[in-house]
């Protein structure tokens, strides 16, 4: 049965990628991963049956569908077009699936470049958390030709419970930036609301007793508050530096479209302040601590 499945390559087995790759293996797809500076996920995947490649070119020589789950556009461009990159080793007909949150303009340009040499690029950015990735419960929004989508969907189904085909290449990344504008915007609003609440005598616990289970509750709120209330650092493992990257990409899209985005600009500046203060490696729910500290408050102070 495995012989009838496409050979899969995976580059970027970090917080999200390791869980996704594990799900691909569990569904019986032959899998090759590329070495990572953090050896633990690579060794765990190899123990589960994956092969390892040393370079993107070597990986591309073994795979017909290649998933990328890296930081953003510069990393995607480097792994495709860099020395020993995917483009140098991929066979005609190979599909590259960019699951990163990337600049849609670059995605469209890369797709055109790769099409000229017989390769396909599509975008399939992610919704969800690393815990959901490990369980195969992510969502993905895909920009791809119909034929390409038909080939990648069985593999995406291995790690996603919701797979939406939006339209042509680039649409997935456009929608992902809109999605992250909402989530990062909520993160900034929660942080400011919790800080103001603490200042006027409403503790985070009291705040949560009203919001949780009400109309303003949502999955993002729950993971955000899991850190605020329980100090669980791993509740939402998405760094502030990545959040800032995404809202900056959104700003570029708005500029290109000629659309003002004053709220997006305000959200960007909250994350930019935190990153400039050295908090870039903190996770998004920890923004609440930074915002509170700017007013010399602590959300852990019970008063």
CB-count burial class (<10 Å; 0-12, 13-18, 19+) for 54: exposed
Mean pLDDT of 256-285: 97
pLDDT of 106 strictly over 90: yes
- For residue 1, what pLDDT band results from cuts at 50, 70 and 90? very low
How far apart (Å, rounded) are the C-alpha atoms in residues 294 and 220? Answer: 23
The stretch 37-49 carries a mean pLDDT of 92
Confidence of residue 5 (pLDDT cuts 50, 70, 90): confident
164, 15, 180, 185: which is closest to 102 by C-alpha? 180
Give the integer Cα–Cα distance in Å for 63 and 138: 23
Supply φ then ψ for residue 296, to 5 degrees: 55, 45
Would you mind telling me the total number of residues written for the chain in this entry? 303
Tens of pLDDT, residue by residue over 134-177, are: 999 999 999 999 999 999 999 999 999 999 999 999 999 999 99
Residue 244, burial from CB neighbour count under 10 angstroms (0-12, 13-18, 19+): buried
Q: Which helix (H) or strand (E) holds 67?
A: strand 65-68
Summarize pLDDT for 219-249 with one digit per residue, the tens: 999 999 999 999 999 999 999 999 999 999 9
Structure confidence at residue 303 as a pLDDT band (50, 70, 90) = low
Q: Mean pLDDT across the chain, nearest whole number?
A: 95
Q: What percent of the chain has pLDDT over 90?
A: 94
pLDDT in tens, 180-227: 999 999 999 999 999 999 999 999 999 999 999 999 999 999 999 999
CA distance 91 to 58: 11
What pTM was estimated for this model as a whole? 0.90
Read off the pLDDT band of 2 (50, 70, 90).
very low
**What percentage of the chain exceeds 70 in pLDDT?**
98
Tens digit of each residue's pLDDT (9 = 90 or more) over 56-91 = 999 999 999 999 999 999 999 999 999 899 999 999
């Amino acid at each position: 049965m495995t012989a009838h499945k496409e050979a899969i390559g995976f580059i970027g087995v970090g917080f999200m990628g390791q869980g996704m790759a594990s799900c691909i293996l569990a569904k019986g797809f032959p899998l090759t991963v590329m070495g990572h500076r953090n050896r633990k996920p690579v060794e765990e995947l190899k123990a589960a049956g994956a092969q390892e490649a040393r370079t993107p070119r070597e990986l591309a020589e073994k795979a017909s569908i290649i998933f990328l789950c890296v930081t953003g556009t510069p990393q995607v461009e480097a792994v495709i077009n860099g020395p020993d990159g995917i483009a140098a080793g991929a066979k005609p007909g190979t599909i590259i699936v960019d699951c990163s949150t990337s600049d849609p303009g670059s995605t469209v340009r890369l797709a055109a470049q790769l099409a000229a040499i017989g390769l396909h690029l599509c975008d399939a950015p992610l919704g969800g958390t690393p815990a959901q990735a490990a369980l195969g419960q992510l969502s993905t929004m895909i920009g791809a030709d119909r034929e390409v989508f038909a080939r990648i969907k069985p593999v995406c189904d291995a790690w996603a419970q919701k797979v939406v085909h939006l339209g042509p290449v680039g649409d997935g990344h456009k929608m992902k930036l809109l999605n992250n504008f909402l989530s990062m915007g909520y993160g900034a609003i929660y942080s400011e609301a919790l800080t103001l609440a603490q200042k006027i005598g409403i503790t985070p616990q009291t705040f949560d007793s009203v919001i949780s289970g009400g109309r303003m509750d949502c999955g993002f709120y729950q993971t955000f508050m899991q850190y605020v209330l329980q100090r669980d650092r791993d509740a939402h493992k998405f760094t502030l530096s990545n959040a800032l990257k995404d809202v900056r990409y959104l700003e570029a899209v708005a500029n290109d479209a000629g659309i003002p985005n004053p709220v997006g600009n305000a959200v960007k500046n909250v994350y930019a302040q935190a990153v400039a203060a050295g908090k870039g490696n903190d996770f998004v729910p920890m923004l609440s601590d930074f915002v509170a500290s700017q007013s010399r408050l602590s959300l852990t102070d019970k008063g």
